[in-house]
């Protein structure tokens, strides 16, 4: 719970795109474009019976819609498997280690379309090779460390507190 009243807890298209960009999930490193993010948001929305009277619900994500959208983002993005991370990680360049190799991968990964990782199983309509819960866990990890770096949080509680404060301010 973000401490917001239910009628005010909606996330619009611009906020969703900004959240994905701030979370290092939107752009050439992940291969996830604004167009794809907009499709994910639209596909994640529940139907609204009266779009005129309930305009806010019709054009924005509720909390349940948001959860589905994050799941769809995880399914769309080609997250690296442990072997890919081993190839990327060089202990001599990072001797102290990193709290998240996934975060390091997406903040330092090659950004050109030719160089980035893209699995055939991530293409629309192809059979998936990894379970969604593994990819979802990876997406949440990248989101957390990206937001932690931007907000300067020391741990999960401080990052959650800063997100909660921001949500109250925007709500």
Token couple for 106: 């997406």
**Closest to 11 in 3D by CA, of 152, 22, 124:** 22
User: Would you say residue 144 has pLDDT above 70?
Assistant: yes
The predicted pLDDT at position 109 comes to 62
pLDDT tens track for 41-95: 988 887 777 666 766 676 678 888 889 999 999 988 888 877 777 777 766 655 5
- For 154, other C-beta atoms within 10 Å of its C-beta total 8
């Amino acid at each position: 719970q973000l401490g917001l009243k239910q009628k005010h807890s909606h996330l619009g298209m611009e906020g969703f795109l900004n959240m994905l960009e701030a979370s290092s999930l939107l752009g050439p490193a992940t291969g996830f474009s604004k167009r794809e993010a907009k499709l994910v948001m639209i596909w994640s929305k529940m139907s609204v019976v009266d779009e005129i009277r309930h305009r806010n619900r019709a054009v924005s994500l509720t909390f349940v819609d948001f959860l589905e959208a994050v799941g769809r983002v995880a399914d769309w993005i080609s997250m690296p498997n442990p072997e890919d991370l081993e190839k990327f990680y060089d202990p001599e360049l990072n001797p102290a280690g990193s709290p998240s190799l996934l975060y390091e991968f997406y903040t330092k990964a090659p950004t050109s379309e030719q160089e980035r990782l893209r699995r055939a199983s991530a293409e629309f309509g192809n059979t998936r090779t990894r379970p969604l819960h593994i990819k979802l866990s990876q997406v949440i990890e990248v989101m957390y460390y990206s937001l932690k770096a931007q907000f300067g949080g020391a741990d999960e509680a401080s990052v959650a507190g800063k997100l909660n404060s921001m949500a109250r301010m925007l709500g």
